[in-house]
Structure 1
Amino acid sequence: MASMSHISPVLIANRGEIAVRLIKSAKALGIKTIAIYTPVDQQSLHVRLADKAVPLTGGNAGGYLQTAEILEICQAENVASVIPGYGFLSENTDFAEDVVKAGMTWIGPSSDTIKSFGIKHTSRILAEEAGVPIVPGTKDLLKNAQEARQAAEAIGFPVILKATAGGGGMGLQVCNNSDEVQHYFETIVSRGQTLFKNAGVFMEKYIAQGRHIEVQIFGNGLGDAISFFERECSIQRRHQKVIEECPSLFVGKTPGLRQKLSDAAIRLAELVKYKSAGTVEFLVDDDTGSFFFLEMNTRLQVEHGITELCYNVDLVAMMYEQAAAEASPLGGIKHLKQRQPTGPQGAAVELRLYAENPVRNYAPSPGLLQDLEWAKGDIRIDTWVTKGTNISAYYDPLLAKLMAHSPTREESSEKLIRFIDDSVIAGPPTNADFLRQILASPPFKAGQTTTNFLSTKFNYKPCAIDVISGGPLTHIQDLPAWFGVRNGVPESGPMDPLAFQIANILVGNELTTEALEMTGAGPELRFLADALIAVSGPDIAIELDGEPKKSWESFAVKAGQRLSLGKIRGNGCRAYLAISGGFPSVPKFIGSKSNAIACNFGGYQGRRLAAGDLIFLKEQDVSRLSQFTRAFPSDLLPKYESDWEIYCVPGPHDVGFLTNSGIETLYNTKWKVSHNASRSGIAIVGPTPEFSRQDGGEGGGHPSNVLEYGYPLGAVNWAGDAANILPLEGPDMGGFISTNTVVRADFWRLGQVSPGNTVTFKPISFDSAIELRKRTIDFISTTSEAFKRPGGIKDLRPLDWVVPSDHVSAVIKEIHETDSRPPTTYRQAGDTYILVEYGQQKSSLNLRGRVELLANEIESWKDDRISGCVATHINLLVQFEGTRLHQSELMEKLIKAEQRIPDASQAKLPSRIIRLPLVWDDSVTKKYIQDYTEAVRSSAVYLPSNIDFVARNNGITAQDVLDTFIKARWICVSVCFYTAVPCIINLDPRKQLRCPKWNPPRTATPEGCVGVGGISACIYNSLSPGGFQMMGRSIPGWDFFSLNKQYLRNKPAFFRTFDQFEFYQVSEEEYNKFLDDFHAGQFTYDIQPAEFDMKEYNEFLDSIQDDLVQVRKRQDEAAAVLAKEEASLLAEWKASKAAMVTFVTDDIEKLKADPKLSYIASPMNANVWKLQVKEGDIIQKNHLITILEAMKMEISVFSEDEFIGTRVTKVVQKPGSIVSPGDPICFVEEVQ
């Protein structure tokens, strides 16, 4: 055998599973491998397995076809050989020739052989020369449609038109009569020219009852060839194979056929002195056993693996062996004939697992592979994907080849059925269930696998729903979602848990079963199986095959029926669709099937539903479904309002943060709900309450700023002068005050608050809040039980929702400072949280150490009534179940704990030192700042450069700001917000940067952004809202699927409290490479284990006190100047906004008064996102006028028929304008 050094390193000119396959065999032979990849493939397995991976710059669509660039890579990497696999460049003769001309070895047939067999009509001539039967057809290419008609009539129908350069099932068309030949001829000509750069077309007789049988051959280029006999690949969709078998059951039952096929294939291979692996394809008549040459595939076939299993051979290794021999004096494998096998051992079956939708004509289905757990078993899996892979739309959707080998065909089929049943493959639609049903079908078991199998012998019946339209915002939620998880994972779950649970009751589900949440309007769904469903929530249009249906009652849906859910009518904004059995195929992420829209994880592919989605259901007993229907009594229905009184508990921040007048403003105002009302935040508009502080101290320059703390859900949170209610997907940490907190029992009403509604906050006591909660729990429980017994619903009573108003103090208790303990304040934060605060809003690692010790103490209690804690600078937010653990009892436990906690100033805390790259003032953060400047606020003290602002605010230079990062060490004081953002402070207080946060905050911050606010910094781990000043970008610490080996399994958060950070500056190009590595799971964090010694640190603090006084003086003076400047700029900005509203309003009123004009109005409270008309346009039928944005949804506004033919005279809104129902978008006039 020739040395493999002749062909090492080898460049793998491919992607996907075949690239992985080629790399594995090369590594087993000691051949160094070099992979290439496009941007979308940076996470692909072949990139990780190769010895080296080189990115392609030719774009995603054509990257793997850029021969010039690939040859340049070969030269740069001193490549000795190139192996192409299948597809892409595998049969590109020019590329094969260029590889050889460049002095490398082409691992595959010669370019002359590829060329000879690449043109189908010339390959037929070669087959005839070798004495191989060919299908009756035209010898030469057809000149036109008329000649094609004449040929078809001579051959006899049916016939098949073929592009002569075609392959992979493309460029084919079966025709049953002359008219079809006439119709399709030009189509095939066009396909051939477009796909293969060859417009030639020929014709063959089409054998309807045929079998696709192929023979695996291997030649040494010296005139010898052997065969590994046949595979059957008859089961095809769109002329592409789906299931393959080795050997063929039909061939085995037909005496002498196996040898005849093998001999014919060998004759053809030896005629052209074929070298390397190839396949000769035949069409075998199912009735007679006659066989005809179809084509020669001059490459490795997709299905080569089942031949390897039946003959215990590595065909890829043979290809490397042949190539090494060619590169040596041997010229090819010697004594090849001695390797001719006598026949197959056992039987192998291969399934091609595709990301495609079988009910949508096998349409490719790109998307996120949320979960992938292969079952244990004797199955060969050739794949390129892992959990978390994003399946691209640019390439073939093949995910994996699943192969079973057993003594019999039946055993292999059963193995594969069990394997599919026991594996988890969740994400975009795949054909897994389709393949399983084929294997289990009687025709397949009987071996009736002709090429028309799928069209005549098999009917796929999935138990699923086909999403025709996803609606504005439809997604999956369950209970209790991520309750108590924290660590930057929003709780999520249904915004209206009351309606959600009742919908589940109506279909007989557990209360917590996943269901669809629909905002504004619902989806259109085609049910592919029988199901029992119920819709709850506000009044919504429901039609089943056009027949109106009612909400709040269950009804059966039959397979094939369409369910259309229209707009929500009247008050309320969210409805729920529960289906009996839920959605069993939707995977759990950190224990829940809920979808966190704000973070793009969970649910169905981490997103809202969209057309083409396929969601599997639980198999149902059809006869039971038709009898099992329930209706919720109409007199018990919840009331959905437009003016809401929402119950809340004062705190955690009112007294001491708002004046008495400010507190009165809070509770006496009807707050208007903004269009920015979503699952992550409900913006409310009204007067700015009077703050009692001048600034936020170390928390920031605005009086709404505080040191970061754990946010209670339901909090009314003040970011500067703007208020947001934090619902179920709100962040779990931040640095803005929360004045009052909506009680848990009222979350269902909070979930139905809509843009344009008003909200009045009604303060109540903790005990009243718990009483409401108990009433709600009891109502759900008794309703569930009532439906389980005959006549039980008659005993149900309406939910009593009245409790007395009671403004209690937000501060539950204060403990004064002692020699061994800091002052401690216990703040009420709704009915499920207590905020423990040490000190007086001054950051201190001694206090942070005490917070950690308290958190550890609470964890040691193992009390299941306590859901978890959020630890930050000087605070610990304790979450508890108030219906089981009273606030007073928890307070007693917390106060006793204080007496047991040791002095943190002497503690030694476990830590790690992590070095991270930092790109400073990069183009991406600049772009986000620019977008904010254009869309939100054009002038602010922190614009246009955040870095310059931070420098000015601290009385230092921009270089000094950079030095605080790259010449100092930082320590992590919390891991919270969204996706486990690390909040860090500089260990040297003299280098701690002080600055206010953005006002108003931005809605988007780029992944990896390093921000500064208050005295803290952070690394935004994912795209998220934010208010910190943006400095540059580093590497995130959040890996959704724990691809990186340094992450703990199923733990997406990497950073920990008391981690120490060191940054080193890199260029933007270097950073982008690091970020690409991070996305591919290949970035290596530079980590050293460490211990943080509080005693040693306190000694350091004592030594710098004099210096620190001077630093603080400088910072205070600088900040005071900029605070005045910001106050002026902020006032100007507010005034300009108010003036613009006045100007537009006056202009609109004048236009309204013109009798010649009419106007097209906004249907809702929203933000104008895009205008689709301009002055002078003539309105057509269903003319798109504008696209509005509200509640994180896009709403298209179309013209009514009455405006058809009118001309737009004036567009009175612009992108970013806020509109209410009835506000004019544009004015129109009749065309004279």
Structure 2
Amino acid sequence: MVNEIPKTLGGHPSVPEHLRPQYPTSWEIMAMPGPHQEGYLTDEDVDMIYSSELKVSHNASRSGIRLVPPRAPQWSRKDGGEGGSHPSNLVEYGYPLGTLNWTGDDPCIFPIDWWKLGQIKAGNTMQYKRVSLEEALSLRKKVEEYLVAIHKAIESGSFEGVQALETTYSPSGAYGKAVVAERPAKGNEPQVRYRQGGDDHLLVEYGNEQFDLNHRCRVTALEKVLRGPDAPAWLKETLTNTVGCCTSLLLFYNGAKLDRERLVKYLQSLEDQLGDLSKIKVPCRRFRLPLSFESKEQTEATQRYMETQRPHAPYLPDNLEFTAKNNAFSPDQLKHNLLNGTLMTVVVGFFCGNTVSLPVDPRMRMASPKTNPSRVFTPEGTFGWGGSCGSIYPVDSPGGYMMLGRTVPCFDYLGYKDGFSLEKPWLFQDFDLLTFYQVTEEELNEKLGYFRSGRYKFEWDDVEFDMAEHNKLLQDTAEEVKQLREKQTKVQDELVAAENESLQKWREDKEKNKVDESTLDALLADPAISTIDSPMDANVWKVLVDEGDEIKANQVCAILEAMKLVEKRCHDVVAEISVQAPWDIKKCKVEKLLVRPGEIVKAGGRIALIRQEN
């Protein structure tokens, strides 16, 4: 902060034009490999990412910069294992800020307001350039030095000698690997991989991408040591945050002050200190939550998804029926498992305290792909399933988990409700146990009303989770679980084939619906023909006219949708945009429709051709 503006600047800071960074429409973004680049994408996929211009989608927002790639990745594996059936699916982990995340065919950056990402907008293009940790830190230092120089110039009243910020860079090509260190398994102590996530993040990953509550227990134990009173002073000064997930711990640290090699060596030394955790008892809470399998809002969200994003898929229109089939259950069996089983909270975070949970009993575990593409809207309180985990959506938001039901949200914006606070506006914490009881949609709506008004009381008991008992359950049910997994794998292979067929048909249908260029040119050459154009990049939600219809001035002919961020709220909503006929037309008919619901239209793109009649 500048304490006082010098009179030489006229009472207000005005940085000279030549010192202000330029905001182009095509951006160069420097990026380090990782954390999951190696072993997931093919070499051709990686080359495509770094050699192509990626367009910023109309669905980009401050909570997720969605990109349009030249093609979908080919992937170096056939599926995501316990993360989900699609090869892009991973066991949930903490996302480093600024990470390019690829779910299905859609890449998305989970952004931070860095000066470049904070200025990117829909319709821009961007191209990644690979840099090493050392190069990233050097570039970061230059930005910080530039800001310090501007700060001093404002305070002194003179910009003499201040150099403009250099916004382009030619990387050396020596960018290193995503996995920076490994520690082999030893007895009951699992394998550990240390994955880089930019110059300020390090992902500590246990095991081999398989859900195991022993790994989650180890994540929690490591986190407590790192955040505890006995942590070394240098770590307390540089470690800013930690995010524990299913089998991994993401560290946020100040890369400009803490040498990564020193951090990794210290983390490796802690593994011996933690030792064998297979028989410990963990204090936790057991919650009892209402769950409705009917929801008008979820039905409407699915219908809108089918109208604006993808018209058909094996998981449409009933996510619950698909998830049951994908796991060799009947819908009633799936509901029975949810209402009679116990889930353990293995992730709290990512987005507004989003809670991800895993069934304690391995016989009740399920696997499910995420929607492709992901939905632009999911109602708050949705209980969804993606990969091998369940999740409660804390707010209305985009999402790709299969919607199985709806419960009470676990997030309070203002932190005033019972169980919440301004410092901790989310409800759940690591190792919380979740159980459900069934309610009708009307009963749930009543409870949602109580929650929104601050009168809802969550039910929970303080209990202990015994890792020794859990490990005995794993041993006793191993053969039964093996047989169930074989049965599930067979069904899942069939549904993956059905999904691939559906995706191919969907893509072919979109190509068939395109109007031939020669036909379009001939129509546009007619002086009686004019166009109705899109005001922005968006999805086509509804087309309200047909070819041959007479239309009037200012008549709404189509409704588009795109994402926007609502001021003073932390999540995105869908904005509806009405597209009207020109104000000055008199007697016109729709000559040719150029879009259909579910298609994407660019800013200035033609929605329809209209003919002026005499």
Q: Is the TM-score greater than 0.5?
A: yes
In the alignment, what sits opposite 1:121?
none
> Aligned-pair distance for 1:508?
5.7
Query: Matched residue of 2:263: which SS?
Result: helix
Return the alpha-carbon distance in structure 2 between the equivalents of residues 930 and 1190 of structure 1: 16
Alignment check: 8 A CA contact 1:1012 1:1018 kept: yes
In the alignment, what sits opposite 1:417?
none
> Aligned-pair distance for 1:1121?
1.2
Alignment check: 8 A CA contact 1:666 1:689 kept: no
In the alignment, what sits opposite 2:568?
none
Query: Matched residue of 1:1126: which SS?
Result: helix
Pair 1:1199–1:703, CA change in 2 (3 A): same
Return the alpha-carbon distance in structure 2 between the equivalents of residues 1083 and 1144 of structure 1: 58
Alignment check: 8 A CA contact 1:978 1:1024 kept: no
Percent identity among equivalent residues? 36
Return the alpha-carbon distance in structure 2 between the equivalents of residues 717 and 859 of structure 1: 28
Query: Matched residue of 1:677: which SS?
Result: coil
Aligned length: 593
> Aligned-pair distance for 1:1205?
4.3
Matched, 1:1179 2:562: no
Return the alpha-carbon distance in structure 2 between the equivalents of residues 1173 and 794 of structure 1: 62
Matched, 1:927 2:300: yes
* Aligned equivalent of 2:62, options 679, 684, 689: 679
1:509-908 alignment, distance < 5 Å: 627-685=10-68, 686-728=70-112, 747-790=114-157, 792-801=158-167, 802-806=169-173, 807-860=175-228, 861=231, 863-908=236-281
Pair 1:1187–1:970, CA change in 2 (3 A): closer
> Aligned-pair distance for 1:1017?
0.6
Query: Matched residue of 1:628: which SS?
Result: coil
* Aligned equivalent of 1:970, options 336, 343, 351: 343
Pair 1:1011–1:1196, CA change in 2 (3 A): closer
Return the alpha-carbon distance in structure 1 between the equivalents of residues 421 and 540 of structure 2: 44
Query: Matched residue of 1:793: which SS?
Result: coil
Return the alpha-carbon distance in structure 1 between the equivalents of residues 579 and 54 of structure 2: 27
Return the alpha-carbon distance in structure 1 between the equivalents of residues 273 and 217 of structure 2: 14
Matched, 1:1111 2:493: no
Return the alpha-carbon distance in structure 2 between the equivalents of residues 1035 and 1132 of structure 1: 38
Return the alpha-carbon distance in structure 1 between the equivalents of residues 359 and 82 of structure 2: 13
Return the alpha-carbon distance in structure 2 between the equivalents of residues 758 and 868 of structure 1: 32
Pair 1:656–1:1157, CA change in 2 (3 A): same
Pair 1:972–1:629, CA change in 2 (3 A): closer
Return the alpha-carbon distance in structure 1 between the equivalents of residues 545 and 324 of structure 2: 45
> Aligned-pair distance for 1:1152?
1.4
TM-score by length of 1: 0.46
Pair 1:1147–1:798, CA change in 2 (3 A): same
1:154-553 alignment, distance < 5 Å: none
TM-score by length of 2: 0.90
Return the alpha-carbon distance in structure 2 between the equivalents of residues 958 and 1163 of structure 1: 44
Alignment check: 8 A CA contact 1:766 1:830 kept: yes
Pair 1:1144–1:931, CA change in 2 (3 A): farther
Pair 1:781–1:1062, CA change in 2 (3 A): same
Pair 1:805–1:1161, CA change in 2 (3 A): farther
Pair 1:1147–1:992, CA change in 2 (3 A): farther
Query: Matched residue of 1:885: which SS?
Result: coil
Return the alpha-carbon distance in structure 2 between the equivalents of residues 1172 and 918 of structure 1: 37
In the alignment, what sits opposite 2:588?
1207
> Aligned-pair distance for 1:670?
1.7
Pair 1:955–1:780, CA change in 2 (3 A): same
In the alignment, what sits opposite 1:448?
none
Return the alpha-carbon distance in structure 1 between the equivalents of residues 12 and 419 of structure 2: 51
Per-residue CA deviation, residues 54-92 of structure 1 (Å, 9 max, x unaligned), is xxxxxxxxxxxxxxxxxxxxxxxxxxxxxxxxxxxxxxx
Return the alpha-carbon distance in structure 2 between the equivalents of residues 1059 and 765 of structure 1: 39
Matched, 1:1041 2:387: no
* Aligned equivalent of 1:985, options 331, 334, 358: 358
Return the alpha-carbon distance in structure 1 between the equivalents of residues 83 and 349 of structure 2: 17
Query: Matched residue of 1:645: which SS?
Result: strand
Alignment check: 8 A CA contact 2:309 2:599 kept: no
> Aligned-pair distance for 1:1231?
4.6
In the alignment, what sits opposite 2:607?
1225
1:935-946 alignment, distance < 5 Å: 935-946=308-319
Pair 1:780–1:1019, CA change in 2 (3 A): same
In the alignment, what sits opposite 2:286?
913
Return the alpha-carbon distance in structure 2 between the equivalents of residues 1159 and 876 of structure 1: 54
> Which amino acid in 2 is paired with 1:758?
T
Per-residue CA deviation, residues 1033-1052 of structure 1 (Å, 9 max, x unaligned), is 11222122334334356532
> Aligned-pair distance for 1:1138?
2.4
Query: Matched residue of 1:639: which SS?
Result: coil
In the alignment, what sits opposite 2:570?
none
Return the alpha-carbon distance in structure 1 between the equivalents of residues 250 and 9 of structure 2: 49
Pair 1:925–1:1162, CA change in 2 (3 A): closer
Give unpaired runs (5+ residues) of structure 1.
Answer: 1-503, 510-553, 555-623, 730-746
Alignment check: 8 A CA contact 1:1039 1:1053 kept: yes
Pair 1:1042–1:834, CA change in 2 (3 A): same
> Aligned-pair distance for 1:983?
0.8
Pair 1:1153–1:636, CA change in 2 (3 A): same
Pair 1:1119–1:1167, CA change in 2 (3 A): closer
Alignment check: 8 A CA contact 1:1144 1:1212 kept: no
> Aligned-pair distance for 1:639?
2.1
Pair 1:1173–1:1037, CA change in 2 (3 A): same
Return the alpha-carbon distance in structure 1 between the equivalents of residues 427 and 337 of structure 2: 23
Pair 1:625–1:1217, CA change in 2 (3 A): farther
Return the alpha-carbon distance in structure 1 between the equivalents of residues 226 and 456 of structure 2: 36
Query: Matched residue of 1:825: which SS?
Result: strand
* Aligned equivalent of 2:434, options 1057, 1061, 1065: 1061
In the alignment, what sits opposite 1:459?
none
Pair 1:1145–1:1091, CA change in 2 (3 A): farther
Return the alpha-carbon distance in structure 1 between the equivalents of residues 115 and 264 of structure 2: 28
Per-residue CA deviation, residues 1170-1201 of structure 1 (Å, 9 max, x unaligned), is 66888433437xx8776655552666767778
In the alignment, what sits opposite 1:1124?
497
Matched, 1:1101 2:484: no
> Aligned-pair distance for 1:683?
1.8
Which structure has the larger Rg over C-alpha atoms? 1
RMSD after superposition: 2.7
Pair 1:975–1:849, CA change in 2 (3 A): same
Query: Matched residue of 2:508: which SS?
Result: helix
Query: Matched residue of 1:684: which SS?
Result: strand
Query: Matched residue of 2:203: which SS?
Result: strand
In the alignment, what sits opposite 1:1165?
537
> Aligned-pair distance for 1:1002?
0.7
Pair 1:794–1:1213, CA change in 2 (3 A): same
Alignment check: 8 A CA contact 1:768 1:803 kept: no
> Which amino acid in 1 is paired with 2:196?
Q
Higher relative contact order (CA 8 A, sep 6+): 2
Query: Matched residue of 2:410: which SS?
Result: coil
Return the alpha-carbon distance in structure 2 between the equivalents of residues 785 and 666 of structure 1: 39
Alignment check: 8 A CA contact 2:189 2:275 kept: no
